[in-house]
Amino acid sequence: MANTWLPPAEYIATLPRATAYACLYFTDTDGRPFQLRATYHTDLWQWPGGNMDPGETPWQTAVRECQEETGIAFTGEPRLLGTHFVSHRGEEWPANHIGFIFDGGVLTDDQLARIVLDPDEHSEFKVRTLAEWQREMTPRNFARLAEIDRARRSGTTVYVETGADI
């Protein structure tokens, strides 16, 4: 049987679809994770970040989205804490979703006081201990938070998979 190579556009059309997001993971000076409450789903807490725009790298996306959502002009170096794979979510979101979570470092009390949220995207921010976040979040989302926090504390990188629900 002869190998038949498809032109790139035809080959790409056969591959699974995926979108990508990138974000920054911050803690306060006591090591408590910082998260934002989404306006479009009030039970959802997330890190400053969002979907990649055409032509952006994951790092550029994380820095841009952080600035837009919090007013924080992040100037640190990229350090990947983990990747997150969300399986296909049906017709509501007909593609897999891949996330890149970068280390944003530590926010001081002064930096936290200067945060300006985009009211179209987030209604509030909080810093809490992992135990406090566990009571506030869905089990799947908390598991992702706990894995990223573990990666930060241990200096490792993690890979996390979750299913379609939030």
Task: Please give the C-alpha separations between residue 98 and each of 3, 4, 127, 148, in angstroms, as whole numbers.
Answer: 31, 30, 25, 15
Please tell me the predicted confidence (pLDDT) of residue 154: 97
Please tell me the predicted confidence (pLDDT) of residue 96: 87
Pairing of strands 45-46, 49-51: unpaired
Query: Domain 26-162 classified CATH 3.90.79.10?
Result: yes
Res. 57: pLDDT tops 80? yes
pLDDT in tens, 76-117: 999 999 999 988 766 776 788 899 999 999 999 999 999 999
Q: Which residue has the higher pLDDT, 25 or 3?
A: 25
Q: Are 142 and 132 in contact (CB under 8 A)?
A: no
